[in-house]
Amino acid sequence: MIEATHQIETPDGTMEAFSVHPDGDGPHAAVILYMDAPGIREELRDFCRRIAGEGYYVLLPNMYYRPGTTPFDYDELMDPTTGTATMKKMFAAMASLTNELVMRDTRSMLDFLATQSAVKPGAKGCIGYCMSGQYVVSAAGTFPEDFAAAASLYGVSIVTDQPDSPHLLADQIRGELYIGFAETDEYVPDHVIPDLTAALDANGVTHRTETFPKTHHGFCFPQRGPAYSEAAAEKVWELVFDMYKRRLG
C-alpha cells in the first residue's frame, strides 16, 4: 500500500487528509471516507486501508480543521471522570460543521482528487459513519455526477426539519446508496428511517436501507467496546464492497 498525508486548500483554510491506495497498476477509483464524531485516528486509517485493499484510492479528510480540534479519545468519552467534559467538547466540534461547509470541503476534495495520477477519473464512492451519514447523503445529492456509490452507517441528521436536510436532495441523487442503521440508537429518531425510505423511493433512488438487529450506535468500530458487532460490521463491509464493485468497478 502507498500512504501519504496531504494539505488540501479549501475556501476556509488548509485541510489535512490521509490517503492510501494499492501498490502497482492504477489508476484507481476514489472513495472518500468521512469521519465520525471522535475524529481522525488509527482505527479510521485502518478502515481506509481495508477499502484500499479492494482496489481503491481512499481519502480521509480531517473535517475538524476549522476549529483545529484534535481527535477525541473514546476511553475519555466513556470515563466517568472525564466523559462529560470531553463529550461537551466533541459536540462543540460537531456543531462547527454544517452541510454547506462540508459540501464546500467536498468540492475541494474532488478538485484535489482530479490532480492525482493514482486516481481514475469518473465515478467515485464515499462512506460515512455517525455524524457523517448526513454528509454522505448530501454529497450524493450535491455532486451526483461524481458520487456513484454512497454508504452511511448509523448516520445522524439525515432527516431533519431544516431546509438543508439531506433527504431533501433525494431528487438529485443519481448514484446508489447503502444505508445501515442500528436497532438501538438514541441519536436516530424513529421517524428517520420511514421518512428517508419514502423520500428515496419517491425519487427512484437505488438504495438498500436496513436495520441490523441487536446492534447499537457504533457497531462497526472494533474499538467501541460492547457496541461492536463483528457479524454486523462484516456484513456491512460485504454489502458496501459489492456496491462499489457494481458502481465503481
pLDDT of residue 222: 87
Q: Look up the domain containing 166 and give its range.
A: 2-248
pLDDT of residue 247: 97
pLDDT of residue 72: 63
User: CATH code at 163?
Assistant: 3.40.50.1820
- Nearest 5 degrees, angle CA 60-CA 61-CA 67? 150
155-to-16, 53, 132, 214 alpha-carbon distances in Å: 23, 24, 6, 17
| pLDDT tens digits, one per residue of 104-140 | 999 999 999 999 999 999 999 999 999 999 999 999 9
The terminus-to-terminus CA distance of the chain in angstroms comes to: 19
Decide which of 87 and 29 is more confident: 29
pLDDT at 227: 86
d(CA 187, CA 167): 17
pLDDT in tens, 232-242: 999 999 999 99
Q: What is the mean pLDDT of the chain?
A: 92
Give the pLDDT band of residue 71 (cuts 50, 70, 90): low
Q: Number of structural domains, the chain?
A: 1
Read off the pLDDT of residues 139-162 as tens digits, 9 standing for 90 and up.
999 999 999 999 999 999 999 999
How far apart are the C-alpha atoms of 229 and 247, rounded to whole Å? 27
Which residues sit opposite 159 in a β-bridge? none
Q: pLDDT digits over 73-88, tens only?
A: 666 666 666 666 767 7
